[in-house]
Amino acid sequence: MAADGDIERTVEPSSAADAGSATAHDAIIDVRNLQTAFFTEKETIRAVDGISFDIDPGETVGIVGESGSGKSVTARSLMGLIESPGRVLRGSSVRYRDMDTVRTFADEFPKRTVDVADLEATYDAEELFASTAATPQEFGYADPASVPLVDVAAAGYTDELGLTSGNECVFVTDGSADSAAGIQRGFVEISRLSGEPQRKMRGGRIAMVFQDPLTSLNPVYTVGNQIKEALRQHQGIRGKAATQEAAELLEAVGIPDASRRVNEYPHQFSGGMRQRAVIAMALACEPEVLICDEPTTALDVTIQAQILDLLAEIQESRDVAIMFITHDMGVIADVSDRVNVMYAGEVVESADVVPLFEDPKHPYTRGLLESIPGHQSGKKLSTIEGSVPTPNEPATYCRFAPRCPKSFDECHEVHPVPIPVEADGEADHTAACLLYPDDVSTAEAVARHGGRSHGGDGE
Ligand code: SF4
């Protein structure tokens, strides 16, 4: 096995802007410094390398990038589906902030609930933080004194600190853990879930639709039986009521003659109908968040449009948040409110969908847009030469540099972090590129990414 002893310490810092944006509004999912690595005998592959983003209730967040950029590993990390030799690394935090879920979990799993106000009353946060292997930059802070204890605990350092067993998953941050009904603030730490809490979260609160519906459906059970199993597991609905509900779900996703079709097997459904059935299964659990991993890639264009329309209808009628993963910029433009562009395990640009498409900043995003047929009428279709590198070492430079038409010397020496594209801009449009902020000199921009300011304009 590759040595992994200090991999958690070598991540690039999430920016202060990330830390700020993570709490700036009422996100239902708040991903901070997520790192997922696969350990092989030869190397450590850092498939997701310190990404941060959030998803608000009822919005669609797109994750786009080429194959190998880490999109699907991000989705699987959120669902707790990373298997050996991979794992989500200490220092990562994925927070589920729905308060109804926090209260329910605190009530059902009191031994796995940590009251941070109690911890803070007992321990000195700065002293405890100093005894971990973490750096304040990993949490988006420059000063150790400003790192909240809740961040240290949620990111998995509790064992190291000797505070608890390390199995906790619910963090209450207002000192009201004794009475679940009184809890006002807190979150469920998805990256620390296991056992029954994980089963309840996966499917019950967050559901996933995969690219190939055949891998999600069991060929030896009827479609109806598979939906009924989800209803039994997560809603406790059985018997005739479950059959009725399964047929209604199939009807809701546009399956004609649903009461008959509910008794058919997956091989009797067309590709588009199978994907609709998988979406019906996901909805059976009434999730607040739906993760769609390339759900239309295996379908022809007409069916693809129908499935996208269906997802839009579902979002409007059920108010679910959707994380939509695809390599297709056209699809992302159709479905997303906000977009995160991934490259080699990192988020390289993040913005609302209109500014991202009208005024893309990162050279990789520009390259992706210029390679869409018809995007620039009258111009020759561009390609991005080369392929996505395997991120098998800590990033000490820009991973896009070997393919970037704008690269300059510092790009091979300084690792860019996501920062606002304008010097005094908001954190709602960020780029991990040394050309930004673009309203300061390149030397100043490089310095803001953590590199030395040594003059010279690389443009
Ligand atoms: S940091 Fe340099 S190499 Fe990387 S995207 Fe920006 S200009 Fe290109």
- Tell me how far the alpha carbon of residue 282 lies from the centroid of ligand 1, in angstroms: 40
Backbone phi, psi, residue 2, to 5°: -70, 145
**Rounded CA gap, 402 and 127, in Å?**
42
pTM (predicted TM-score): 0.88
- Tell me how far the alpha carbon of residue 44 lies from the centroid of ligand 1, in angstroms: 24
- Tell me how far the alpha carbon of residue 399 lies from the centroid of ligand 1, in angstroms: 8
At 371 the pLDDT is 83
Residue nearest to atom 5 of ligand 1 (CA): 433
Query: Residue-wise pLDDT tens for the chain (459 aa)?
Result: 333 433 443 333 333 333 333 344 489 999 999 999 999 998 999 999 999 999 999 999 999 999 889 999 999 999 999 999 999 998 899 999 999 999 999 999 988 898 888 888 888 888 888 888 888 887 878 888 888 888 888 888 877 776 665 568 888 988 888 888 889 999 999 998 988 899 889 878 999 998 888 888 999 999 999 999 989 988 889 999 999 999 999 998 989 999 999 999 999 999 889 989 999 999 988 899 999 998 888 778 888 888 899 899 889 888 899 999 999 998 999 999 999 999 999 999 999 999 999 999 999 999 999 887 766 666 677 788 888 888 888 889 999 999 999 999 999 999 999 999 998 877 899 999 999 999 999 999 999 998 664 433 333
Residue 80 Cβ contacting ligand 1 at under 6 Å: no
- Tell me how far the alpha carbon of residue 412 lies from the centroid of ligand 1, in angstroms: 9
Residue 404 Cβ contacting ligand 1 at under 6 Å: yes
- Mutational test site, ligand 1, from 433, 442, 446, 459, max ligand atoms within 8 Å of CB: 433
- Tell me how far the alpha carbon of residue 17 lies from the centroid of ligand 1, in angstroms: 20
Residue 400 Cβ contacting ligand 1 at under 6 Å: yes
Alpha-carbon torsion angle 437, 442, 448, 453, nearest 10: -170
Q: Cα–Cα distances in Å, from 330 out to 27, 54, 81, 208, 357?
A: 26, 22, 28, 22, 10
At 375 the pLDDT is 66
- Mutational test site, ligand 1, from 435, 448, 459, max ligand atoms within 8 Å of CB: 435
- Tell me how far the alpha carbon of residue 347 lies from the centroid of ligand 1, in angstroms: 13
Residue with tokens 């673009």: 438
Residue 7 Cβ contacting ligand 1 at under 6 Å: no
Nearest ligand 1 atom to alpha carbon 408 = 2
Helix axes 239-252, 223-235, angle to 10 degrees: 110
The answer to whether residues 187 and 30 touch, using CB atoms and an 8 Å cutoff, is yes
Structure tokens at 66: 């080429």
At 261 the pLDDT is 94
Structure tokens at 380: 């020759």
Residue nearest to atom 3 of ligand 1 (CA): 401
Strands 419-420 and 346-352: unpaired
Residue nearest to atom 6 of ligand 1 (CA): 433
- Tell me how far the alpha carbon of residue 26 lies from the centroid of ligand 1, in angstroms: 32
At 95 the pLDDT is 95
Residue 398 Cβ contacting ligand 1 at under 6 Å: yes
Provide CB contacts within 8 A for 237, sequence distance 6+.
228, 231, 245
Residues in the chain, total:
459
- Mutational test site, ligand 1, from 365, 388, 399, 400, max ligand atoms within 8 Å of CB: 400
Provide CB contacts within 8 A for 227, sequence distance 6+.
245, 246, 249, 250, 262, 277, 280, 281, 284
Residue 434 Cβ contacting ligand 1 at under 6 Å: yes
**Rounded CA gap, 63 and 330, in Å?**
12
Residue with tokens 């594209």: 421
SS (H, E, C) the chain: CCCCCCHHHHCCCCCHHHHHHHCCCCCCEEEEEEEEEEECCCCEEEEEEEEEEEECCCCEEEEECCCCCCHHHHHHHHHCCCCCCEEECCCCEEEECCHHHHHHHHHHCHHHEEEHHHHHHHCCHHHHHHCCCCCHHHHCCCCHHHCCHHHHHHHHHHHHHCCCCCCCCEEECCCCCCCHHHCCCEEEEHHHCCHHHHHHHECCCEEEECCCHHHHCCCCCCHHHHHHHHHHHHHCCCHHHHHHHHHHHHHHCCCCCHHHHCCCCHHHCCHHHHHHHHHHHHHCCCCCEEEEECCCCCCCHHHHHHHHHHHHHHHHHHCCEEEEEECCHHHHHHHCCEEEEEECCEEEEEEEHHHHHHCCCCHHHHHHHHCCCCCCCCCCCCCCCCCCCCCCCCCCCCCCHHHCCCCCHHHHCCCCCCEECCCCCCCCCEECCCCCCCCCCHHHHHHHCCCCCCCCCCC
Structure tokens at 255: 């399956």
